[in-house]
Each structure stands twice: as C-alpha cells, then as structure tokens.
Chains A and B, each alone.
Chain A
Amino acid sequence: MKIPLFPESASNFAPDVDHLLYYLVAVSVFFTVLIFASIFYFAIRYRRRSDNELPKPIHASLVLEIAWSVIPFGLTMVMFAWGANIFFKESRPPKDAMQIYVVAKQWMWKLQHMEGQREINELHIPVGRPVKLTMTSEDAIHSFFVPAFRTKQDVVPGRYSTTWFTATKPGKYHLFCAEYCGTKHSGMTGWIYAMEPQDYQAWLSGGRSFGSLAENGEKLFQDLACGNCHKADGSGRCPSLVGLYGRSVQLADGRFVNADEAYLRESILQPNAKIVAGYQPLMPTFQGQVTEEGVLELIEYIKSLAPPPAGAGTTPAEINVNPGVATAAPSNR
C-alpha cells in the first residue's frame, strides 16, 4: 500500500521551499538528537547511586552561554534570509504573467480567464507560463492554497490580493480553501489542471463562447451609463478613462496615486474616497449595483482603453476596444 508522505512538486516555488525544508529538518534533527542524546547520556552516567550524594554545584559559563546563543542565532538567520528570499519572489509576479481573476464566496471559487472562460472550483492553466491571480471575496476571508505549488494567499473581502506561480509539471493538483469560512469550509476545494501549452490552447478554444472580460465590461459600462460623465475626450464632468490604467493620478489633496486595480475598484465602490484634482465629488457609489465579477469586468474594460496612436485621426467618440491584454491566446469569437 503506497502511503503518500510528501506532496507533489509542481511549481517554480516548490523546489525552493522543499530545499528550505531540508535545511530546517537537518538543523532540527541535529539539535534534537544532540539534546536527546545528552539527556540520555547524562541521566544514565550520573544517575543517583546513593541517597546522600551531593554533586558539586557548577554555576555558569559565560563562554557556553554566548556560544549557544550566537551559533543558533546564526543558523536561524539563514532560515530567515532563505525564507524571506522566497517570500520576496512570491510577492513579485512577472510583468508578462497571465492574468486570472478569482472571486471567492461561501463556499466556492469562481475563476475567470481574460478571454472570458469562467470556471467554478477548477482552474486550467498552461505549464511553463507564469500565472497571476487577482483575488477578492464576496463575504468572509478565504485563502487560495495549492499544496503542490507551495503557494497560499488569503482572499479578503473589500480588497484585492494577488498570488502567482508557474506550473512546471502537467497534472491535476488540489486546490483548498485554507482560511476557515463557515459551514462548508472543508468543501470549498477544487482542482488546478496544469496542461501542456497546446492542450491548454485546445481547452481555451473549446466549450461555450463567453464574451471576453473586457467585452463584458464594455457592456456593463454602457448599461450603467458610465459614459454620460466619463467621456472619452475628457469633456464630461468626470475624468476620461482612456489610458488611465497604470498611470499616476493627482488627487485633490495633492497626493499622487497609481491607478491600479485596487484604485479602480475603490473608485467604483467608494468614489469619494479619492477625488481627482480639478474635479468635483459627483460620482455616486455603485456598491450593491455591481458584483465583484462585474467590477473585474469593468476593470478589464478600462485597461483596454488605450489612447489612440499619435497621428491617427480618430474621432473622439470612437473607442477602440482591444480585447484582453497582451495574451497570445486567440480571441474566442
């Protein structure tokens, strides 16, 4: 009977974490054996042989105290640095990572590919390509945990959190929710399917055709009449959103902020938290009118609003929509 005792190793981080494990285990085994053996040896060698024994008191040794403080400290600093290094890498997804959006809710995972594919409790990804997950929760705190990848990130309501990995081996890997979230916490599990790139392309093309995220976002933008104020040429009461994503924005109080996903989300749900310089606080909140998925679609739409190329005579009213952002995947139309 084969009893698995070690998780599969299927991401770029897994070997790093496993090597750190070996170091930690080695140091621990060393000190455990040292202490156990010392106790065992001393206890037997110096066992009490008669009731009136009075050992000589040995009080202290500064040298020993320093030695067994400094040496362990040195060993632990290696643990710190090694772990910190991995953590740092985990916090910096590569710029060209494939973007996946995740919305967690009690008790399921909703995942969206840029091209529009939606998955529930499953995620298909290609091997060898960095994948970045941008995640939020609709209710309690959840946590996106893939043991085979050695990655985990809490998914918190009201904000975006990110995690990234590159799958290194095709296969099917457990996805667990790792933050207690109520009754069916242990049922909030799923699978990550890492596939060879050509299999992944095939998977992408098959199945229902969804609108891409950006296309759905455009539709939502129109349904909610955002364009009444946010005119593309900047002539409306509110700032133009063309080329906004990733830009530095000056606020009314003089601060500069980066227009990233979190800023865009906040602008939709809590518009008066930050007012752009030169504009009035006119925008109503869309909290309650837009779901978290809707927010993600709007964000993708806004990202697609690139400014028209210099010299081209585009009329202000036209907006060229570029579905998706820098992916090699064919469009799903």
Chain B
Amino acid sequence: MNTAAIETQENYLNAGYGLKSWLLTKDHKRIAILYLITVTIFFFIGGIFASLIRIELLTPQGDLVSSETYNKLFTMHGIAMIFFFLIPSIPATLGNFFLPMMIGARDLAFPRINLLSWYLLVIGGAFALFAMLAGGVDTGWTFYTPYSTTYSNSWVIATALGIFVSGFSSILTGLNFIVTVHRMRAPGMTWFRMPLFVWANYATAVIQVLGTPVVAVTLVLVFCERVFHIGIFDPNLGGDPVLFQHMFWFYSHPAVYIMVLPAMGVISEIISVFSRKPIFGYHFVAFSSMAIAVIGFLVWGHHLFVSTQSVYAGLVFSFLSYFVAIPSAVKVFNWTATLYKGSISFATPMLYAFGFIGLFTIGGLTGLFVASLGFDVHVTDTYFVVAHFHYVMVGGTIMAFLGGLHYWWPKMTGRMYPENWAKLSAAIIFVGFNLTFFPQFILGYMGMPRRYHVYPDEFQVLHVLSTAGASILAIGYLFPMFYFMWSLRYGEVAGANPWGATGLEWKTPSPPPVHNFDEIPVVTHEAYDYSTVVGEGVEVG
C-alpha cells in the first residue's frame, strides 16, 4: 500500500478536519487521541518535577531550592503523575481506542459521556495546573490531615477541586466501559472469548466506579474543614485526623490497581501475539483481574500500620494483603508459561513486555516485604516504599503503556515507528529505571525517610546513583516522543495486521474507519486463535 492510497482512504483521522471536529467528536478513537495528548503533557509536567527533585537530592544540603519549594515539588510530582497521568493513561487512551473494537462494537455505549470524561480531565487538570502555577501545594499527594486542613498555607482547595473534577472523568469512563462490555459485544463474542485486555479494563472499571466516589467525598470534607473549620479532622474540635487516612486510602489503594490492571491487560495481549500462542491459563488470568479488583478493596489499612490503628486491624489488613498478591503472581507465572514452546519475536512491544514482567515481579515481591507488619514498621515512610511503588508504577505500568503504544501504533496511525530507535529506547529506559530506583531500596532500609529535602551525608552515594539513573531514564523517555512524531510523516506505512495478531481490531484497515466495522463481525473463534492468522501474509514492520 503506498502513501497516496493511505491518504485517500477514509479513516477516523481524515474524516473531518478542524478544531470543532475534534473537540466535539463522539468517536471513541478521536477521544482516545485527545486523551493521549493530555496525559502525555501531564507526564512531562510530572517528569520535570521529578527531575528537579532528583537534582536537588544530589547533595545532602538543600542548595537548589528552598524547603517550601521542595515540598511543593514532590507533592505536585505525585499529583500530576497519579491523578492526571497514570489513572487515565491506559484505560482512557488504549482502552478507549480498542475496547469497543476488540468486542466488535461501533463505539462505546455512551459516546457523549466519553467526550465529557475527557473535558472533565482537562478541567480538573486546569485547576491543578492553576494551583501549581499560582504557588503550588505542599501537602504531599496524600493530603494527610491536620496538616492539609489546618497548617498548610498552599493551594490545597484548588488542587483538591482539580482532583475532584478529574475523579468524575474516571468514574464516567468506568461506567461507560462496564455498560459497553455487558451490552455491546458482537454476536458470538462471549465473555470467555474476549481478549484479556478487555477483562483487565472491565475489572479496572469496577474499581473506578466503586472507589473514586469515596475519595471525592473525602476531598469535599477536606474542603469543608479548610474553609469552614467544621472540626471533622481536627482533634481540637473533637475530630479524628486518622479518619482521613482511612477514607483516603479506601480509594487510593484500589487506585493502584486502576493503574496496574490495564497494564497487565496490555501485557497479556503482547505476550500472546509475540509468542503466537494463546495466553496460558486464560481463565485464571481473567479471574485474577477480577480477584485483584475485589480483594484490592479490603487492604487499605496496610497504609496505616503505624498510624495508631489497632494491632488487630493491622493483623487483618496484613493477612488480606497477602491474598491480593497471589492473583498477580498467578498472572506472572501464566505469562511466562505462555512463552514455553512459543514462537518468540523480539519486536519492541515484546521487549517492553519482558521488561514489565521482570520489573513488576521485583516491585510486586517488595510489596510482600511491606505487607509484613514488623518489616513495614521499619520501612514505611522511607525510600523503600518509594522504590516499591515506582517499580510497579514505572517499571510496571509505564513500560506496559509504552509497549502498548508501540504495539498499537500502526493500527492507530497507519505508520510503523522506527524499530531500531525503539529498541534502543527500551534498553535505555530499562537501564535508567533500575539505576534510579534499585538504590532506593537500600536507602530505605538504611532509614532515609521520604519527602526529605536535606539528608545525612552517608546517604549521598546512593542518591547520586539514583540521580544518574534518572538522567538516563529521562533520555529514554524523550526518544519515543521524537520518533513517534517523526513516524507520523515518515514512518513506513503499515497494513491492517503487521504483527499477525488475532483480535477484531486487526481486521480493520490501519487507521480504522470512523465506524470501525462495515458489518458487525460474528465471532466464531476463541481469543488468540492464531491458526486464523498465520498464512495471511504477515505484513513486515
């Protein structure tokens, strides 16, 4: 297929130009692209804050920025990355684009609500950005009371409002996905023929719908406390500051599964395609997504082990936290088993998938460390926890996001990315990531606390290693920005199915037409049945 043919063939990208056709679109694919641009912007904002943090931590003294500024940097890094990048990332970009196509639907159940979701994210982001520019917020992304309600002199309310509004973006996306999966599957697309990416996003949607409202009402109470001094979290007025922690973490723990479940869905897709085999233990992987979603709501108290929560509550939460680890382990074993006697390709998406499995394994295992009560007493609120969650969020989710972007790029844009640059970037990211975060495990066990602007001299060497890694990681992230943009104009034209994948999305042209399918397909095969694909003349990437 030549360039000229691509430009004349109608698809969702060229069916209408102009700002209005994008800003008032009902097409889930265009909304996905809008989201992609938005979350990428917030990723780089969060990344800038991270860079400043790591540069400051090169030396034990606070010589780059003042304490107030430093406190704002780590707060805003967390807020930008969690609420405006990680939580929307995979579901609202890749999920929005591909969930309907994977089940053979023309769009989500509620396209206008989908567009509203994007506007809510943008509006929420605008509030948060305003707060950042007007002076910043310094409470930590966790907003613990009574510091955030009584003592902080920063833009708490504007930020809380931004997060509150963006929370509704998340809720509506979840609602949309749930109804779509239940009601809009094509004929023959039974639950157990759905791709695992759909299962993962469905489980995520359940969490979004049940958990996010709780953090919303928690933020409302923080607002009331700050403005009206009602006393709900103020011990001087009879309130309980630890109640905030319970309410906050009731959402924020399941939130981490919002961040990782879709990533696991991406990995299932990639491992299958690039081994050319169905995922080993499909049912177990599907059910483990649901198990993680459910059990994930029962473990929030493991963030409160030293908070003056009762010993007995601590025991229960620690015990249950080990339960939630098992389904994740099951997935890792099943992915690895899928490789056995497969036909393994080392295309970039697969490299990211390997990276994910390795780094998520380490991150997940260190979760077992912190779930152990006596151990957590020592390492909670230290860099050990920081390392743990960056391993799963960055080594996990972001690697999966990049893997998914590379995997589905040809379908979304009709172009291939440059494979060699992509492989190089993946390698740089992998090395940079480990150098940044592995030393932090050691720092944490040694006692280096979180959110520290200055630190004792003996921690410096490890901090220097970490910052060196961060510079490498930053470079690694910049490369895809450039070559993805480059590929839009100069990348090799991609066909309908360059990877030889199964899945209904690969049966459409690249980029897909506005309505996805000329005729709704009737599904007769299991998911991941490669006998239907091999021999079709696999397009070379």
Contacts and interface: CB of A to CB of B under 8 A. Distances in A.
Q: Do A and B bind each other?
A: yes
Contacts of A157: 146, 235-236, 241
Interface stretch (B80-88, B157-165, B370-378, B409-417): B370-378
A180 B140 contact: yes
A35 B325 contact: no
Interface string A157-195: 111010000000000001011111111111101000000
A13 B376 CA distance: 13
B365 interface: yes
B358 interface: yes
A68 B288 CA distance: 13
Contacts of A60: 280-284
B359 to A, nearest CB: 10
A307 interface: no
A79 B372 contact: yes
Interface in A296-325: none
A54 B242 contact: no
B191 interface: no
Contacts of A79: 322, 368-369, 371-372
Interface string B312-324: 0011001100100
A85 B276 CA distance: 47
A36 B358 contact: yes
Interface in A49-81: 51-61, 64-65, 68-69, 72-73, 76-77, 79-80
A46 B375 CA distance: 40
A185 B284 contact: no
Given A59-B278, A77-B322, A65 B284 contact: yes
Given A52-B535, A65-B281, A80-B318, A152 B306 contact: yes
B378 A54 contact: no
A142 B109 CA distance: 48
A39 to B, nearest CB: 6
A159 B234 CA distance: 12
Identify which of B278, B314, B333, B462 gathers the most chain A CB atoms within 10 Å of its CB: B333
Given A153-B306, A182-B152, A76 B144 contact: no
Nearest to B239: A158
Contact of A147 (B344, B346, B378): B378
A57 B528 contact: yes
Contacts of B336: 35, 38-39, 42
B362 A147 contact: no
A17 interface: yes
A69 to B, nearest CB: 6
B307 to A, nearest CB: 5
Contact of B374 (A57, A84, A176): A84
Chain A residues touching B, range: 35 or more
A97 interface: no
A198 interface: no
Contact of B343 (A55, A61, A145, A180): A55
Interface in A6-32: 6-7, 13, 16-17, 20-21, 24, 27-28, 31-32
A53 B378 contact: no
A52 B365 CA distance: 38
A250 interface: no
Contacts of A189: 456
A141 B308 CA distance: 11
Interface in B144-158: 144, 146-147, 150-152
A270 B377 contact: no
Given A7-B445, A58-B340, A35 B357 contact: yes
B452 A145 contact: no
Given A46-B343, A86-B377, 13 more contacts: A4-B458, A7-B446, A35-B358, A43-B346, A57-B278, A60-B280, A79-B369, A80-B373, A139-B146, A141-B146, A176-B447, A178-B449, A181-B147
Top 8 A-B pairs ranked by shortest CB distance?
A: A158-B235, A147-B447, A86-B374, A83-B372, A87-B373, A42-B339, A186-B452, A140-B147
14 contacts: A17-B375, A68-B333, A76-B322, A76-B368, A77-B322, A79-B368, A83-B374, A84-B318, A87-B314, A151-B378, A153-B377, A156-B242, A179-B381, A182-B71
